[in-house]
Structure 1
Amino acid sequence: MTQTIPTIDISPLRSPTSPDRARVVSDILTACTDIGFLSITGTGIAPDTVDKVRECCRTIFAIDEKSKWDQAITRDNYRGYIPMGFFTPNDGSGTADKYEGYKLHFETASDDPIVADCPLYGPNLWPREVPQARDIILGYWRQLDAVADLLIGALEDGLQLPPGTLVDGFTKPMTNMTLLHYPPQAPDEAGFGIHPHKDTDALTIIAPDPVGGLEVQTRDGGWITPDTPPGGFVVNIGDMLELWSGGRLVSTPHRVVNTSGKERYSFPYFAVPRHDVVVAPLCAPRDGFERPAVHCGHWSAEIWRTNWPDEEASADTPELGTLHS
């Protein structure tokens, strides 16, 4: 059977008494156990909100190179500009990915007590040259938080978990966003915009760029593109929800290849639980699914640390999304 990525209107999830809620929950669970990807409509997020974020991304990446480098990420603060070709896959193999980025984390005041508990929290490094960026992006972020809560709540229902079992883990979360710019690649050019990988978060939400380029791997090894209606979003399961569900929900490999001849801009939202959450199976694991429990703060710290080419994974490093041949 050929795998496809379904489109689901999630608006009934807003009403616990909606006669369509159970059907929508079932459809979401089916998509997440089959291919791990779905397109969603009915989010309540206006298209012009997405357009403003995309235009903000264009403006940020148009900043002069020196200023961008002055605001680059460091080992001590994984926030700010990610230069083009800066990172290779987490295992150190392969060609550098062909994108530049700007990393943003859950916005936390520097004097918030949680900063002392986990150094991955703190204020973001917002681009000085784009003063409107903070309000535009955080406004969009808050709307995506609400969509993520609906989806995670639906998965709680579908997996027959008590209410709040998953959702309660997303108070003061480690949710993050990456603003991305992919220059066009020549059709015969080696490498990827982003190499084939699985997301290490719980849930990813992304507004598709009209240029295209996102490809999802099917179980037979082929690659397909989400067919998302205008105003819709692509959602995919990450490794954390796969682990929480004992392997029932599927974290699926995907990649970006931009051979459109046009500049591509993207701004994925990665839902990640609070730093002290321990992710372990909450459902009976599927046959053959064996993975240890993972501490969310440690997992996140290892992801950032091992992005640096001279850092290596250690025996206690969780899986980091990179696919091994």
Structure 2
Amino acid sequence: MTTPTINPVSFKRFEGDFAGFSQDLGGSFARYGFAVISDHPLPQARIEAAIGAAKAFFALPDEVKRAYVVGVGGQRGYTPFGIETAKGAEHFDLKEFWHMGRDLPAGHPFAAYMPKNVWPAEVPAFHTEIAWLFNALDAMGRKVLEALAAYLKLDRHFFDSTVDQGNSILRLLHYPPIPADGPNIRAGAHEDINVITLLLGAEEAGLEVLERDGQWLAINPPAGSLVCNIGDMLQRLTNQVLPSTTHRVVNPAPERRGFSRYSTPFFLHFNPDYEIRTLPGCVTPEHPDRGLAPITADEFLKERLREIRLL
């Protein structure tokens, strides 16, 4: 039996063959819950600068990093090693991370949902480079949603007003070297909470997706690709036409255990007050209505953050 693979979809087709791009991208999401986007327009030099700034922060002494722990459920600043635990898991993940969210002007009505960002003074380039990456991935995510709207036979710009002030998060992830075998892994099996996730820096092995037959499928994207997956919010909105697939980051092979792994997932969220209500066009004989009550994006988020011990 041949092992399934997730074939990359070139972003160059977004302009030249939008209908075909949307169909192939949406088809990958419907089949796997994941897609690999090649030829994305983000400049590699800027990506490397942002990852370099993240590496510089994670290399700081532990007591310096802990000064940036803020009490907002891990939604801003630093979350130390050994905190986040996958839903239902017994052992914590082997990672530390930093969160940046959307910058809002003073007096914005969503200020109650989105805390202010904090910035590490010890890394001068951090603010500029990380804010650039947030905005670049936010814009890229809207392009992906434009294609998914077309795939779902909605107006191409259906999602524009649902995410334009979304409570999105850029996560800078550091998985330290693994000293020895143990019960913990870098990221336990989980599904993402949000609408879609865009992931850079997945070239270092470890990311795996749970296939329909119960086997784990390794995701090995070509260098310079963007890995994207469906989150629980979009799965709920689409009545599971677009599935939020279980995935994990396993520990490296022995010869790579001395190396850190860095990645920068961008969790694109709906606006906090957006009501997640099953799309009528997604109720079909293959996908009967599951009868889920409408819920706002903020209510859904808080429910899930409690489950993973961040709130």
Structure 2 residue matching 1:302: 3-state secondary structure = helix
Hey, what's the Cα distance between the residues in 2 that align with 1:182 and 1:111?
A: 37
The alpha-carbon deviation at position 289 of structure 1 amounts to 4.1
Q: What is the total number of aligned residue pairs between the two structures? A: 302
The alpha-carbon deviation at position 209 of structure 1 amounts to 3.7
User: After superposition, what is the alpha-carbon deviation per residue over 1:141-165, rounded to whole angstroms, capped at 9, x for unaligned?
Assistant: 2221221111101111111012332
The partner residue of 1:106 within 93, 99, 102 is: 102
Hey, what's the Cα distance between the residues in 2 that align with 1:24 and 1:68?
A: 42
Change (3 A) 1:226 1:69: same
Hey, what's the Cα distance between the residues in 1 that align with 2:125 and 2:18?
A: 38
Higher mean C-alpha deviation, range 267-276 or range 178-187: 178-187
Hey, what's the Cα distance between the residues in 2 that align with 1:139 and 1:270?
A: 15
Equivalent residues in 2 for 1:79-98, closer than 5 Å: 79-91=76-88, 93-98=89-94
TM-score by length of 2: 0.90
Map of 1:140 onto structure 2: 133
Structure 2 residue matching 1:268: 3-state secondary structure = strand
Map of 2:161 onto structure 1: 168
Hey, what's the Cα distance between the residues in 2 that align with 1:186 and 1:171?
A: 43
Hey, what's the Cα distance between the residues in 2 that align with 1:73 and 1:213?
A: 29
Change (3 A) 1:137 1:24: same
Structure 2 residue matching 1:23: 3-state secondary structure = helix
Hey, what's the Cα distance between the residues in 2 that align with 1:181 and 1:38?
A: 23
Map of 1:294 onto structure 2: 295
Whether contact under 8 Å (1:3, 1:35) holds in the other structure is no
The partner residue of 1:229 within 222, 232, 241 is: 222
Hey, what's the Cα distance between the residues in 1 that align with 2:73 and 2:95?
A: 22
Whether contact under 8 Å (1:10, 1:42) holds in the other structure is yes
The alpha-carbon deviation at position 213 of structure 1 amounts to 1.2
User: After superposition, what is the alpha-carbon deviation per residue over 1:284-307, rounded to whole angstroms, capped at 9, x for unaligned?
Assistant: 331374533221011223333444
Equivalent residues in 2 for 1:258-297, closer than 5 Å: 258-259=251-252, 260-261=256-257, 262-282=259-279, 283-285=281-283, 286-287=287-288, 289-297=290-298
Hey, what's the Cα distance between the residues in 2 that align with 1:2 and 1:280?
A: 36
**Which aligned segments of 4 or more residues in structure 1 are displaced greater than 4 angstroms?**
none
Map of 1:58 onto structure 2: 55
Equivalent residues in 2 for 1:3-22, closer than 5 Å: 3-13=4-14, 15=15, 18=16, 20-22=17-19
Hey, what's the Cα distance between the residues in 1 that align with 2:180 and 2:209?
A: 19
The alpha-carbon deviation at position 11 of structure 1 amounts to 2.1
Confirm whether residue 156 of structure 1 aligns to residue 152 of structure 2: no
User: After superposition, what is the alpha-carbon deviation per residue over 1:238-263, rounded to whole angstroms, capped at 9, x for unaligned?
Assistant: 11111221211111110012322111
Extract unaligned runs of 5+ from structure 1. 312-325
User: After superposition, what is the alpha-carbon deviation per residue over 1:221-243, rounded to whole angstroms, capped at 9, x for unaligned?
Assistant: 11122231221110111111112
Hey, what's the Cα distance between the residues in 2 that align with 1:168 and 1:112?
A: 16
Hey, what's the Cα distance between the residues in 2 that align with 1:90 and 1:224?
A: 21
Which amino acid in 2 is paired with 1:281?
Answer: T
TM-score by length of 1: 0.86
Structure 2 residue matching 1:177: 3-state secondary structure = strand
The alpha-carbon deviation at position 193 of structure 1 amounts to 0.8
Map of 1:29 onto structure 2: 26
CA RMSD of aligned residues (A): 2.0
The partner residue of 2:237 within 231, 238, 244 is: 244
Whether contact under 8 Å (1:182, 1:258) holds in the other structure is no
Hey, what's the Cα distance between the residues in 1 that align with 2:135 and 2:26?
A: 24
Map of 1:321 onto structure 2: none
User: After superposition, what is the alpha-carbon deviation per residue over 1:168-209, rounded to whole angstroms, capped at 9, x for unaligned?
Assistant: 201111111111110133573212111100111111001134
Hey, what's the Cα distance between the residues in 2 that align with 1:7 and 1:77?
A: 33
Which amino acid in 1 is paired with 2:94?
Answer: K
